[in-house]
Structure 1
Amino acid sequence: MKMLQESTLYIEKNTDILEVDINALVKCASHVIVPLGPLDTFAARNPWVGLEGQSFEQTARRLKDTCEVDMYPNHSMFQSAIDHGEIRQDFIEKGIQEWLNSQAFELPRERAEQFCRAAILQDDQYPSDIENLELKSVAKKLTNFTNYIIKSLSIKTYSQSLEQLGKANAAQVLNSHMIKWCKLFLDKSQAVWLMPHREEGFYHAWRKLVQHDSSLSRKVRTQLSELPIDAEGALKKVLIELGVSNSDIQEYLEAHFLALPGWAGMMLWRSQQSEEEASLLLDYLAVRVSMEWAFVKPYLPLPENRNEKVNLEPLIAAWTEWGNMPIDGWLKLSSAEIKKHLILAYRFDKIVRNRILLEAWEKTYEEHLKKMITSQQNNIVIPDVKPALAQFVFCIDVRSEPFRRKLEKAGDFETHGTAGFFGLPIETCELGSNHTHNSLPVMFNPQYKVKEIAKESKPFEQRNQVVSSLGNTFKTMKHNLFSSLVLPEISGPWLSLQTLARSFMPRSTGRTISKMLNTWVQKPSTELSLDKQQLSDSELPIGFSNNEKVHFVRQALKMMGLTNQFAPLVVICGHGSHSTNNPYNSALDCGACGGKSSGFNARVLAALCNLPNVRESLASEGIIIPKDTVFVAAEHITTLNELQWLYVPELSDKAKESFKQVQDVLPMVSEEVNAERIPQLPNLKSHLKNAKGEAQRLSEDWSEVRPEWGLARNAAFIIGGRHLTQDCNLDGRVFLNNYNWKKDKDGAILANIIAGPAIVTQWINLQYYASTVAPHYYGSGNKTTQTITAGHGVMQGNASDLLSGLPFQSVMKSDEEAYHEPLRLLVVIQAPTSYVKRVLEQNHVFHQKVKNGWIRLASIDTEGSWVSWY
């Protein structure tokens, strides 16, 4: 009776929720998750982009409290880095001293330092072996000192709190039900029977169907059937019933989003794609919180635990083991001394220790990079003003660095780095494809459409349709009740033969199948729709006006630092990957093109640069492209470390000579890059006799979990002249963007690089970081146990969150050893200090990232001095 009265009183206090703008709160709460698009357009996402208003450490504490997620590397990663000399002891010591200086401890400095040094490399939060009667007795006598240490916890959901209290596994049950309903609603025609009433929206469909869910008790189904018809009304009702106060609603909804950030992220992505589904997040929360209310209702009201007092036993044990202080020594201390010792042990917790270790690791890498670059500066030879034989423009992707380095040594070639979409905000449509693709960074929207066209395309399209129809027919038969019974007999011989061939001869089988398809399809020579066609106000214009063509070429040439001294041949290199049976193949393509190859963009830019009217307009502005200079397009296949030509127009005599020399050296360059990169993969010999053959096998073997390492071990982004790093072996860890501050008086080019490529590289960096430190929350776990679900993404098994990051095999060498070093991105800008200050003042988002520790910043000034900005 007393519990009923308390519950009634609690609900009466919270009826003002009815006046709350719940839509605004849902929108604000969604900043803890990021949109998660389908797997076939997988693009790097910073999982913490909405949390950068707080420091990295503050966010780490919040996630640890709310959902038990660690944002820092674990002990074994730190220990391995120390053992390999990647974390210098002097940087660890410096971190300890700086932390102690920031605290107001009155303990003797030597004593505090001794404790911190002993604790810094400990694996546990506090000593785990604390089953000691004497310790418990002392802790009991010091109970009053808990008043000096109050533990502030983040809000958990009621189902999580119930599990923490040991009363029911409500959170686990709730998650399993939400996964089931999300899979049904989001299915992309993969299921044989689609979810009824789906067109009415998630909440409405769920409300009609949940009444017939036999996995729920009759009582729960009855409660859920009585919910309001609309999602907003239902969410407000259950929040009142649960007794969530107005001030806690947003944080409470955030906790629900963080419980399944993958499925919630997919709902967020869908809500951004069309007006019809704009309220999908509200529907998601209405379903989730309503089910939680039904599950936890018998246990309400739950006890408050926001200001939980600290257990003193671990703090006392910490001083015993790490501070050389006997347990009975506590009773000999004064009250002031007891307080000082307890506060130090409490504050110097695992998160502080990990922060110091991570910063020491990052500073060690920065010092290594600094020495490499500054020693290179001392040996710089002023280059001859004569233009190179050929100039190559690569994406800033870290995989381009080894290829550029080997190519430059192979001949009189010059390379430049720029964002792989080449500044073209386009939607692409390839010949024979029924789909378009946004070929630009995911934070931007396309402004133009470019189509691949051919004069005689109908025969090709018909043959291509036959190939597509075969796949669709197989899928339809598989899902049909009767045809599925005879499908094994029909397809068995062919599939068995293919299985054996792909298993025992993957390289030759892959080449043979590709050759057969290409021979059958016979794709004709194509052109691009570069001239503007305005279809309607609701559609993107196809192609560009003359002014727009000039604008994009001018912008691209300035961004890549190529405005004079043009070589006879300029190669615009997009990049893509090639692998078989790989759900994550788009993760290996160009991050600046939304998870697709950037070869199409390279072809568009090269074609625009060859237009006579564009060159005439640029010449009037001082950008003079010689008549015998020809732009061509190629694609850097990162799995094979090869260049494949996409667009080679008629060449001038000088360009032909350059092209021939390029073709002569490319096989050697490819062989050298493969010899350097392929042995870095696990279980391969350091000196392969046939690195090229191994690369081909990796790309065609459908059992291969690591066709390449992708962007693993990325650590820095250098914005400056190529002369800074030209003779440095950066080990494929650095994004390289050409930049000459002398040609950027107003800082506009640098501002664009920071607003675009710098953000994309940070997203890539933090996705690899998160997938390494929390592989089963922000990554996607083990490839061998993944299930592709609903046509959208992957789960572990058949009932997990929709996993948003990279698989275990993309960042780990083995179960025990990480390959990717989880370091936050170091951005290095070669420019005067005033340029860097201007960027920080004008770009508040970037300034916040630096200030709060989400990105690290250094610069090289006009005197060649290295300046750290954090």
Structure 2
Amino acid sequence: MSLSVGRRLSIRSMIYVAGESIPFFWPMRNFIHHNPLHGLEDLPFEQAVQEGRRLFHGRVFLRRPDYQRYIEQGKVDSDDLSAQVAAFVAERETIPGIDLQQCLMALLTQTENKVVFKRSIASVADIQALVNGLPLPAEKEFTPGNLVQYLRHELLGDRPVYDAIDALYGTGIASELDELVIKSCLDFFDEGQSVWSMPGRKRGFFRAWREVANRNIRLYLRGMHIKDILAVDDTPEGVIAHVMNTLGIPEDRWVHYFTRELAQLHGWTGFIRWRWNAKNYHWSKTYPADLTDLVAVRLTFALALLSKRGRKNIATSTFTLEQAIENKTMETYLRYELFGKRIVPAMAKSVEQALARGKDSQIEKVFHKYIEFKRQHEAGVQANRLLTLAARVDQVEALRS
């Protein structure tokens, strides 16, 4: 495989754009903190913080009890808060019998947890029935088609393939991948503190790492055939293109996919971005490295780990993930519930046993039972939260009407 100069530059441009969201404040000589949204300053604030939450897995707001404590301490003006809530309510459609202003103020100032419960199966009709003390309606809004759409949304898209595999099989690839990449970065970016540093560093990060990886017998003994991947091309861009095509990632999603990969270890990504831009930095001039090198190393490790797991007959690409979602929908859903840590605890043992046995008839039986159980659970939790809030403001009867 040999890429043209134009193709290589195109891949480098994609990675450059993908890395723009990752801040590169380094080194921090004068301040003890930095702005994690620096790379998102071109976006509106609300959009930037949500993108930051998605990329860096951070919390956008303080916990609600913190705000409630500020109200008690007078750090938040209650009258101003009430005025803002009133303005919000004025723009919303009224609900007969419900004082929305009173409900929201109670939610903000008296309730520790949010009232909305994330649900995937229960419908509004299910919740309303339990609010009124009635059994769940016989008619279900949930359909197999909805389930396929839900799984595609959760497991495909910009989500790294290995992350989706971990959520279906509990393989732990993501943590193992991070450890391998961190060790490679420590070996290459050492600035004289370590007893041993990676040989051949003057050739650049990817080329130096490639020489070491090709001779690393420990990786081979761990079942990682990295040498086969690196034999495809001797450039980082060529390896990146090979891995992305093997994983089945459409090219129009490469930039977003690269961003997710770079954000996994955003500290190292930010450091490498800073290092590459600091042209007069001694270590950067002596041992060059950029984000393309980092992405190539990370994707090579990722494909090797996925190929290793693939020998155990599990999905390892978007192609096989799509096949699992379409052809083994019930099994895929139960796997996502169990290994994605969404399982209703009371049925965890039954689901785990059915998946371990691997019999389609048993999986189907447990699936239908689980769906009804989860429907009841989701509707019950949401109904109880609504009733608790309504009781605080003496609006239970209005909620039930």
TM-score class, shorter-chain normalisation, is 0.5 to 0.7
Structure 2 CA distance for partners of 1:123 and 1:233, relative to 1, 3 Å:
farther
Query: Which of residues 258, 263, 266 in structure 2 aligns to 1:261?
Result: 266
Number of equivalent positions: 311
What is the CA–CA distance in structure 2 between the aligned matches of 1:29 and 1:200, rounded to whole Å? 24
What is the CA–CA distance in structure 1 between the aligned matches of 2:267 and 2:76, rounded to whole Å? 34
Shift of 1:180: 0.9
Residue of structure 1 in register with 2:75 after alignment: 86
What is the CA–CA distance in structure 1 between the aligned matches of 2:304 and 2:71, rounded to whole Å? 50
Q: Deviations over 1:411-447 (max 9, x none)?
A: xxxxxxxxxxxxxxxxxxxxxxxxxxxxxxxxxxxxx
Q: Deviations over 1:202-254 (max 9, x none)?
A: 11111111230625623433444434210111111111111111221111111
Query: Which of residues 264, 268, 277 in structure 2 aligns to 1:272?
Result: 277
Residue of structure 2 in register with 1:803 after alignment: none
Amino acid at match of 2:316: L
Amino acid at match of 1:214: R
Residue of structure 2 in register with 1:33 after alignment: 22
Residue of structure 2 in register with 1:75 after alignment: 64
Q: Deviations over 1:288-327 (max 9, x none)?
A: 122112223422235469xx9x986354444233245999
Residue of structure 2 in register with 1:320 after alignment: 387
What is the CA–CA distance in structure 1 between the aligned matches of 2:49 and 2:254, rounded to whole Å? 21
Shift of 1:279: 5.8
Amino acid at match of 1:72: F
Residue of structure 1 in register with 2:316 after alignment: 300
2:147 maps to 1:143 = no
Whether contact under 8 Å (2:177, 2:301) holds in the other structure is yes
Unpaired stretches in structure 2, ≥5 consecutive residues: 1-5, 120-125, 326-335, 337-373
Q: Secondary structure at the match of 1:21?
A: helix
Whether contact under 8 Å (2:64, 2:108) holds in the other structure is no
Q: Deviations over 1:447-490 (max 9, x none)?
A: xxxxxxxxxxxxxxxxxxxxxxxxxxxxxxxxxxxxxxxxxxxx
Residue of structure 2 in register with 1:842 after alignment: none
Residue of structure 2 in register with 1:239 after alignment: 244
Q: Secondary structure at the match of 1:54?
A: coil
Whether contact under 8 Å (1:139, 1:316) holds in the other structure is no
Shift of 1:183: 1.2
2:152 maps to 1:163 = no
Larger radius of gyration: 1
2:88 maps to 1:99 = yes
Query: Which of residues 270, 282, 285 in structure 1 aligns to 2:295?
Result: 285
2:43 maps to 1:54 = yes
Whether contact under 8 Å (1:67, 1:258) holds in the other structure is yes
2:212 maps to 1:214 = no
TM-score, structure 1 normalization = 0.32
Structure 2 CA distance for partners of 1:283 and 1:109, relative to 1, 3 Å:
farther
Q: Secondary structure at the match of 1:218?
A: coil
Structure 2 CA distance for partners of 1:140 and 1:247, relative to 1, 3 Å:
farther
2:108 maps to 1:120 = yes
What is the CA–CA distance in structure 2 between the aligned matches of 1:62 and 1:82, rounded to whole Å? 29
Residue of structure 1 in register with 2:181 after alignment: 178
Q: Secondary structure at the match of 2:188?
A: helix
What is the CA–CA distance in structure 2 between the aligned matches of 1:161 and 1:219, rounded to whole Å? 20
What is the CA–CA distance in structure 2 between the aligned matches of 1:150 and 1:79, rounded to whole Å? 36
What is the CA–CA distance in structure 1 between the aligned matches of 2:398 and 2:298, rounded to whole Å? 52
What is the CA–CA distance in structure 1 between the aligned matches of 2:395 and 2:251, rounded to whole Å? 48
Q: Secondary structure at the match of 1:79?
A: helix
- The structure richer in helix per residue is 2
Q: Secondary structure at the match of 1:53?
A: coil
Amino acid at match of 2:64: H
What is the CA–CA distance in structure 2 between the aligned matches of 1:63 and 1:164, rounded to whole Å? 22
Q: Identity of counterpart residues, as a percentage?
A: 19
Shift of 1:39: 4.8
Structure 2 CA distance for partners of 1:295 and 1:37, relative to 1, 3 Å:
same
Q: Deviations over 1:661-692 (max 9, x none)?
A: xxxxxxxxxxxxxxxxxxxxxxxxxxxxxxxx
Q: Deviations over 1:800-828 (max 9, x none)?
A: xxxxxxxxxxxxxxxxxxxxxxxxxxxxx
Amino acid at match of 1:266: F
Could you say which structure has the greater relative contact order, defined with CA pairs below 8 angstroms and 6 or more residues apart?
Answer: 2
Amino acid at match of 1:291: F
Shift of 1:100: 3.2
What is the CA–CA distance in structure 1 between the aligned matches of 2:210 and 2:66, rounded to whole Å? 47
Structure 2 CA distance for partners of 1:143 and 1:166, relative to 1, 3 Å:
farther
Unpaired stretches in structure 1, ≥5 consecutive residues: 1-16, 334-870
Superposition CA RMSD, Å: 4.3
Whether contact under 8 Å (2:160, 2:260) holds in the other structure is yes
Amino acid at match of 1:143: E
Shift of 1:46: 2.0
Structure 2 CA distance for partners of 1:53 and 1:101, relative to 1, 3 Å:
farther
What is the CA–CA distance in structure 1 between the aligned matches of 2:66 and 2:59, rounded to whole Å? 13
Amino acid at match of 2:389: W
Residue of structure 2 in register with 1:248 after alignment: 253
Whether contact under 8 Å (2:161, 2:316) holds in the other structure is no
What is the CA–CA distance in structure 2 between the aligned matches of 1:288 and 1:328, rounded to whole Å? 57
What is the CA–CA distance in structure 2 between the aligned matches of 1:203 and 1:159, rounded to whole Å? 22
Shift of 1:38: 3.1
What is the CA–CA distance in structure 2 between the aligned matches of 1:53 and 1:293, rounded to whole Å? 34
Whether contact under 8 Å (1:181, 1:206) holds in the other structure is yes
What is the CA–CA distance in structure 2 between the aligned matches of 1:235 and 1:129, rounded to whole Å? 37
Residue of structure 1 in register with 2:231 after alignment: 226
Whether contact under 8 Å (1:203, 1:287) holds in the other structure is yes
Whether contact under 8 Å (1:238, 1:289) holds in the other structure is yes
Whether contact under 8 Å (2:229, 2:239) holds in the other structure is no
2:192 maps to 1:189 = yes
Q: Deviations over 1:271-293 (max 9, x none)?
A: 11238677611101111122112
Amino acid at match of 2:95: L
What is the CA–CA distance in structure 2 between the aligned matches of 1:283 and 1:250, rounded to whole Å? 15
Q: Secondary structure at the match of 1:71?
A: coil
Whether contact under 8 Å (1:96, 1:116) holds in the other structure is yes
Whether contact under 8 Å (2:202, 2:288) holds in the other structure is no
Q: Deviations over 1:496-524 (max 9, x none)?
A: xxxxxxxxxxxxxxxxxxxxxxxxxxxxx
Structure 2 CA distance for partners of 1:60 and 1:33, relative to 1, 3 Å:
same
What is the CA–CA distance in structure 2 between the aligned matches of 1:187 and 1:113, rounded to whole Å? 58
Q: Secondary structure at the match of 2:20?
A: helix
The equivalences for 1:748-763 within 5 A come to none
Q: Deviations over 1:674-720 (max 9, x none)?
A: xxxxxxxxxxxxxxxxxxxxxxxxxxxxxxxxxxxxxxxxxxxxxxx
Whether contact under 8 Å (1:118, 1:323) holds in the other structure is no
Shift of 1:168: 1.4
Whether contact under 8 Å (2:15, 2:291) holds in the other structure is yes
Whether contact under 8 Å (1:66, 1:156) holds in the other structure is no
Shift of 1:72: 1.5
- The structure richer in strand per residue is 1
Shift of 1:116: 2.4
Shift of 1:181: 1.0
Whether contact under 8 Å (1:174, 1:291) holds in the other structure is yes
Structure 2 CA distance for partners of 1:156 and 1:123, relative to 1, 3 Å:
farther
Amino acid at match of 1:321: T
Shift of 1:43: 7.4
Amino acid at match of 2:78: Q
Structure 2 CA distance for partners of 1:259 and 1:288, relative to 1, 3 Å:
same
Structure 2 CA distance for partners of 1:29 and 1:258, relative to 1, 3 Å:
same
